[in-house]
Chains A and B, each alone.
Chain A
Amino acid sequence: MPRRLPKKDVVIIGFGWTGAIMANELTDEGLDVIAIERGPWRDAPTDFPPTYMQDELRYRVRHELFLRPDQLTFTFRNMMSQTALPIRSWGAFMPPNGVGGGGTHWNAEMWRFLPSDFVLRTHLTERYGASFLPADMTIQDWGITYDELEPHYDRFEYLCGTSGQAGNLKGKILEGGNPFEGPRSRPYPTPPQAQPFSHTLFGKAAQELGYKPFPQPSGNLSQAYTNPLGLRLGPCTYCGFCEWFGCSNYSKASPQTTLIPYLIRKANFTARDNSEVIRINLDRSGTRATGVTFVDTSGEEWEQQADLVILSAFALFNVQLLLHSGIGKPYDPVANTGVVGRNYTHQTISTVNGFFDNRKFNFNPFIGSGSIGMCIDEFNGDNFDHGPHGFVGGGYMGQVQTGGRPIESTLVPPGTPKWGADWKKAVKDNYLSTVKPGTGVHGSFYSYRDVYLDLDPTYTDRFGRPLMRITMDLKENEIKQNKFLTDKFAEIIKAMGAEKLAVQYRKGPYDITTYQTTHVNGGAVMGTDPNTSALNRYLQSWDVPNLFVLGATAFPQNPGYNPTLTVGALAYWAAAAIRGKYLKNPGRLVDA
């Protein structure tokens, strides 16, 4: 029998970005809130101090800050006809673990989605006709519009102190910003970061080719900033140990720097770390959550009852917990029924490395930050006419010099041997004069009928529960999209003056061993129809109205941007609905 803790008003599963946002909103409402986090407490002075955090082997190669697969992993296969096998060590994405969640070790690239992204199926069908979309593509509208989300985008940007240049202020297009963005109500809270040499070269080349380059919106702050909660962030020092690492400088927007020190002082807030929720408990009717059961690191089982349950355990773990708790109808791709596990997506990324004459170019690649960048958005979403190209979707592209950590960044031109004296010489000759954009092309990943999540029939976790199974492949549409974008990107890198290019298209099959961002999405999507969505437009479970599910889990498909600004904005949007509507009259906020 699990030991019982005193009942709370609200239990929050997972204390990362969305868990911390929701905890702050609901404690402001006077509710008694507990957040339960699977991983350890993490903060700059104890866990990533500048005395030893600059350790590429430990944090980048050996994944120090991430979940260990022996604690929990997934199985994977490309097609339904294959046997899924366990992901024994991480590759394609990096599951967060610990207080702060992915917000601890993210890059902090902070993009808004395009207005058309939220009404994707309607928009594309109107412009190109329904037959333009592949038959098995299951993209749909979100049930929310950009205009509804705008105030919440704004709130999250001001919480973080985001550094950037507005491109569309209340409908007025501004020079130097992203002219394609939706209208914003205010400029960014802080100006763009300083740009290293390779970025200014990229900007110049892009401009000469007729594009409108702009600095990437960044949560690595260009200057000191005090956020609306009174928390202070320092200026980023371009240390180059950003993504995959925690920031020692309090310069990266994260739950630790923007929310937790404020939240923890509230009398009606408690957190528990090293405690993994294994189930959301339901009452007899199966339509009301009574709380959660969790296991701490000593193996002890606990029950936490609550009136309201917030599931904010990161995209994949949200779906896993829904499946393990029997909430919502599991998706069946053959019968095309059910919703939990449906419309799982990732990101279609690729890059082009440019090798320059080292007598003329020195890029100091180690000077960088996770979300610094010079980008263009001409080929994102539906910003260009897809008619002649035979695919839908797109992405932004840019030079993003995140750091020159040498295990990862000692690149050699194509054709160089992989070892020996010639390799060594090439490493030496090229390290300072190579442009390595990392995720240079950041493309959309749309949803398909046979790309989904369900429970594995064979492999189990340490509690004997089935692992969640990922069935995912890259489809013709995304491969074409990537080829088109990567070629455009290569033209810019070439125009910068590169002598040699290494063009790395994204090709099938989808590969679970190579990193393709940690932007995994969907599986319990939001929408207007309970037959094709697990959550209503307020992220409330259709089946269990006192359960709200936060995170990219709700994305019906993935646009060509990083998810988190939208994930955070949706958390504020859901919080507003809980505060303004749900608490007054707990129950379904939308009729099914």
Chain B
Amino acid sequence: MKSSNPTWFVIRRREFLAGTAMFLFGATRVRAATIAGQLPWTPNAGAPPSRAKLGPWEFFTGEEGRAMEALADCIIPPDAETPGGKDAGCAVFVDRQLAGPYGRREGLYVRPPFQAGTKSQGPQSEKGPAQHYREALAALDRGCKAKYGERPFADLPVADKDEVLRELEKGDFKLDGIDGQSFFEQVVKDVQMGFFADPIYGGNRDMVAWKMIGYPGARYNYLDWVSRHNERFPLPPVGITGSAQWTR
């Protein structure tokens, strides 16, 4: 057996690419390449994240957005020190997630047949999260109007909103055509996720959640603190786009 000629350069075989037929897997643009001789390096190969845009809803209708903000404030109520889910941007977070790859189930296996299975086999719904939210929020408002005299969820007094949520959680508040309990679990999870995710995604505005719990955020070096046992870390949080103090 013998060795081939050395190739001291990177061959990026663009001729391999059949133009538009290119499959895309993942957020990063992918092209097959032959690599030899040295490590390949392309600037921004890893696709840095882009900041959720401020402004109008991207996925929700106005009604849905109002319901989501009301839900966010029930799940994470405002208090004297920390804003609630609405002001922290959690509904915006969910909106941007549903408008993006997550809502479209990008990258997931969505081939038929869709069959019901056991809980341990995982979600098998034909619908993605975006469609699921659309139907569930409509059903929630219909249910509230029927029960509370033509008032949608967002217009209920706080005590009634909380009651609706408690009943949804127990499975007692029925949403027509929808599994209310699993929708409830999904909303709680998504709102809380928005609260704790990096502010770049629209929630956790001003890093309010991180300040609340004492999490320093996107730092990368704790060498000087790992052995300082039981001492509170002194620095405020930073996010991927930096710290509010740096730009104000």
Contacts and interface: CB of A to CB of B under 8 A. Distances in A.
Interface stretch (A79-87, A320-328, A569-577): A79-87
- Give the secondary structure class of B's interface: loop
A45 B40 CA distance: 11
A55 B216 CA distance: 13
B18 A265 contact: no
B111 interface: yes
B172 interface: no
Contacts of A425: 79
Interface stretch (B55-63, B135-143, B149-157, B196-204): B196-204
Contacts of B21: 298-299
A528 interface: no
Interface in B10-42: 16-19, 21-28, 30-42
Contacts of B212: 427-428
Given A85-B124, A265-B37, A299-B23, A55 B240 contact: yes
Nearest to B49: A52
A37 to B, nearest CB: 9
B213 A432 contact: yes
Contact of A41 (B23, B35, B49, B117): B35
B183 to A, nearest CB: 13
Contact of A69 (B32, B36, B44, B108): B108
A181 to B, nearest CB: 25
B72 to A, nearest CB: 10
B220 A54 contact: yes
A418 B213 contact: no
Interface of A: 6, 8-9, 30-32, 39-41, 43, 45-52, 54-58, 61-62, 64, 68-71, 73, 76-78, 82-89, 91, 97, 194-197, 200, 235, 237-241, 248-249, 260-261, 264-265, 267-275, 296-300, 307, 361-362, 364, 366-367, 404, 406-407, 410, 418-421, 424-425, 427-428, 431-432, 458-460, 509-513, 583
A298 B23 contact: yes
8 contacts: A54-B198, A68-B108, A70-B25, A87-B122, A241-B220, A270-B34, A419-B188, A420-B162
A232 to B, nearest CB: 15
Contact of B120 (A235, A270, A427, A512): A512
Contacts of A421: 77, 79
- Give the secondary structure class of A's interface: loop
A57 B8 CA distance: 39
Given A86-B109, A362-B231, A406-B209, A194 B226 contact: yes
Contacts of B118: 78, 82, 509
B2 interface: yes
A297 B31 contact: yes
A367 B27 CA distance: 29
Nearest to B38: A264
Contacts of B31: 274, 297-298
Given A41-B40, A406-B213, A428-B212, A367 B222 contact: yes
A49 B118 CA distance: 40
B39 to A, nearest CB: 6
The interface centre, meaning the residue of B25, B34, B76 with most chain A CB atoms within 10 A of its CB, is B25
Contacts of A361: 230
Contacts of A56: 196-198
B32 A296 contact: yes
B4 interface: yes
Ranked nearest first, the 6 interchain pairs of A and B with the lowest CB-CB distance are: A267-B6, A296-B32, A68-B107, A54-B218, A197-B229, A47-B46
Nearest to A83: B115
Contacts of B210: 406
B230 A362 contact: yes
Interface string B139-182: 00000000000000000000000100100010000000000000
A413 to B, nearest CB: 15
A83 B118 CA distance: 10
B244 interface: no
Given A267-B3, A510-B120, A88 B45 contact: no
Contacts of B201: 57
B217 interface: yes
A260 B120 CA distance: 39
Contact of A271 (B30, B34, B43, B240): B34
A56 B33 CA distance: 30
